[in-house]
């Protein structure tokens, strides 16, 4: 037994460092965004309020709870789960995979000083998707299998070089280079991660890239802002002043932002015999909901007779997930999903509901929720934002 134990420890010790490494950070003064403020203050301030800035395990309750749930249900080490998720949530992490050797060590509490633990706990990745993650990208490999996302698709710049949309950008602090995925086709960079989200069993539960209907509208037009005159850098590089450019906001607003939802969908209704036919129209270039499998559109219907309420109904447009035993689970552990009731890109979806006797009209309100009741309860989410309903639109439909 003693000899077997020594052999196992030696085996684990040799193979801990086998995981490929990401590029090192630009240098110590660029490991967090605070050092970018001297030249890019407006951009950094907008980013700090974004959910890109909350993509790290410690900064997002939903992400953290999901990781811990996967850890408990699969018995994979928590750091092993963190490394899996870091492919997109922390692409600058210094390791991209763990192996059986590490998992054995973690069970035996022999992983304390491993390269994997050091990578997960490194302060260099504490900001999640920060300035360096996007602007240190040199190229994106779009020819890899769909299952290879995030860090696997990225080739990093050499130390000291930053990419951006402007060919004439100059800085005394780093080299600069222009790349088309910032200027001509920014969705290429977005879809490095926002695509083909798969469960442990291989079920694709979110795929914004596949849903996307090619239009002139880019992801950045809505989730950053349309281009407008401003400055990307406050450095006085043009006749002693900051150079005026056409720039975008870096707030990366999305499903968490209530104002983003107002009139994002429209709803109409007509009477068909004893039924009310509701049609929800989506003029956006991707499905709604999109992004994560547990998101939900809620349609609240109040049937009225004059000023009196006759009946109330609610439609929940979401997906439900089950594991290999048929038990309810979160998207990341699912082997099956119910029908997708999302509203397709640049299209519509209709639903028929009964009209109760005596009703003369229906007040219909459409809202959005980040996490449906089922998954929110499984993960025991406490923060209010996960249960809040964000108003989208409403209509008064007369019969």
pLDDT tens-digit series, residues 118-155: 999 998 899 999 999 999 999 999 999 988 999 999 99
pLDDT at 372 exceeding the cut of 70 = yes
pLDDT score at 24 = 53
Domain annotation for the chain: domains and CATH numbers:
2-247 (no CATH), 258-398 (2.60.40.10)
At residue 19, does pLDDT exceed 60? no
What pLDDT does residue 287 have?
96
pLDDT value for 29: 65
Work out the pLDDT band at 31, boundaries 50, 70, 90: confident
Name the packing angle between helices 2-15 and 100-107 (round to 10°).
Answer: 120
Residue 96 has pLDDT above 90, yes or no: no
How many whole angstroms separate alpha carbon 162 and alpha carbon 174?
7
Q: What is the pLDDT of residue 124?
A: 85
Q: What is the pTM of this model?
A: 0.89
Q: Which of 27-31, 92-96, 234-238 has the lowest mean pLDDT?
A: 27-31
Distance in angstroms (rounded) separating the CA atoms of residues 22 and 132: 12
* For residues 342-369, average pLDDT: 97
Q: Is the pLDDT of residue 383 over 60?
A: yes
> 169-228: per-residue pLDDT in tens?
989 889 999 999 999 999 999 999 999 999 999 999 999 999 998 778 899 999 999 999
d(CA 352, CA 314): 12
367, 391 contact by CB (below 8 A): yes
| Amino acid 2: pLDDT | 33
* pLDDT per position as a tens digit, 239-298: 889 999 999 999 999 999 999 999 999 999 999 999 999 999 999 999 999 988 999 999
Query: pLDDT confidence of 237, banded at 50, 70, 90?
Result: confident
Contact 117, 134 (CB under 8 A): no
Averaged confidence pLDDT in the chain: 90
Question: Rg (Cα) of the chain, in Å, rounded?
Answer: 24
The pLDDT tens digits of the residues spanning 155-167 come to 999 888 999 999 9
Exposed/middle/buried for residue 377 (C-beta within 10 Å: 0-12, 13-18, 19+):
exposed
Identify the pLDDT of residue 159. Answer: 80
pLDDT at 201: 93
Instruction: State how far the Cα of 141 lies from the Cα of 153, in Å rounded to an integer.
Output: 5
Count of other CB atoms within 10 angstroms of residue 68: 15
Cα 298–Cα 300–Cα 303 angle in degrees, nearest 5 = 160
The yes-or-no verdict on residue 13 having pLDDT over 50 is: no
383: number of Cβ within 10 Å: 12
Residue 27: band (very low, low, confident or very high) from pLDDT cuts 50, 70, 90: low
pLDDT-derived band of residue 12, with 50, 70 and 90 as boundaries? very low
Whether residue 25 has pLDDT greater than 80: no
For residue 42, is pLDDT > 70? yes
Task: Give every CB contact of residue 123 below 8 A, 6+ residues apart in sequence.
Answer: 31, 32
For residue 369, the surrounding DSSP H or E stretch is: strand 361-369
């Amino acid at each position: 037994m003693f000899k077997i134990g020594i052999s196992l420890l030696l085996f684990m010790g040799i193979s801990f460092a086998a995981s490929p490494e990401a590029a090192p950070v630009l240098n110590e003064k660029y490991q967090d965004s605070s050092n970018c403020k001297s030249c890019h203050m407006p951009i950094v301030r907008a980013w700090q309020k974004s959910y890109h800035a909350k993509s790290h395990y410690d900064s997002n309750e939903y992400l953290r709870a999901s990781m811990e749930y996967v850890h408990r249900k699969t018995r994979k080490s928590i750091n092993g789960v963190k490394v899996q998720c870091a492919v997109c949530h922390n692409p600058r992490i210094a390791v991209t995979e763990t192996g059986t050797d590490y998992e054995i060590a973690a069970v035996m509490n022999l992983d304390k000083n491993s390269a994997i633990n050091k990578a997960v706990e490194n302060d260099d990745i504490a900001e999640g998707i920060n300035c360096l993650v996007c602007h240190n990208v040199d190229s994106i490999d779009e020819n890899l299998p769909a299952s290879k996302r995030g860090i696997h698709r990225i080739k990093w710049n050499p130390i000291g070089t930053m990419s951006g949309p402007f060919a004439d950008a100059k800085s005394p602090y780093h080299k600069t280079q222009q790349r088309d995925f910032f200027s001509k086709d920014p969705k290429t960079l977005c879809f490095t991660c926002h695509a083909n989200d798969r469960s442990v069993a291989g079920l694709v539960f979110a795929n914004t890239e596949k849903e996307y209907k090619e239009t002139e509208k880019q992801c950045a037009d809505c989730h950053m802002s349309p281009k407008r005159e401003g400055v990307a850098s406050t450095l006085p590089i043009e006749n002693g002043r900051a150079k005026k450019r056409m720039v975008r906001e870096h707030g990366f607003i999305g499903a968490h932002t209530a104002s983003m939802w107002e009139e994002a969908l429209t709803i109409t209704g007509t009477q068909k015999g004893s039924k009310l036919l509701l049609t929800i129209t989506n003029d956006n270039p991707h499905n709604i909901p999109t992004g994560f499998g547990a998101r939900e559109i809620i349609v609240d219907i109040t049937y009225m007779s004059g000023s009196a309420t006759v009946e109330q109904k609610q439609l929940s447009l979401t997906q439900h997930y089950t594991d290999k035993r048929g038990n309810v689970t979160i998207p990341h552990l699912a082997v099956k999903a119910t029908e997708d009731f999302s509203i397709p890109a640049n299209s519509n979806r209709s639903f028929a509901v009964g009209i109760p006797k005596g009703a003369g009209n229906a007040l219909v309100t459409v809202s959005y929720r980040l996490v449906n009741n089922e998954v929110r309860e499984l993960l025991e989410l406490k923060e209010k934002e996960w249960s809040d309903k964000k108003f989208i639109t409403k209509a008064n439909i007369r019969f």
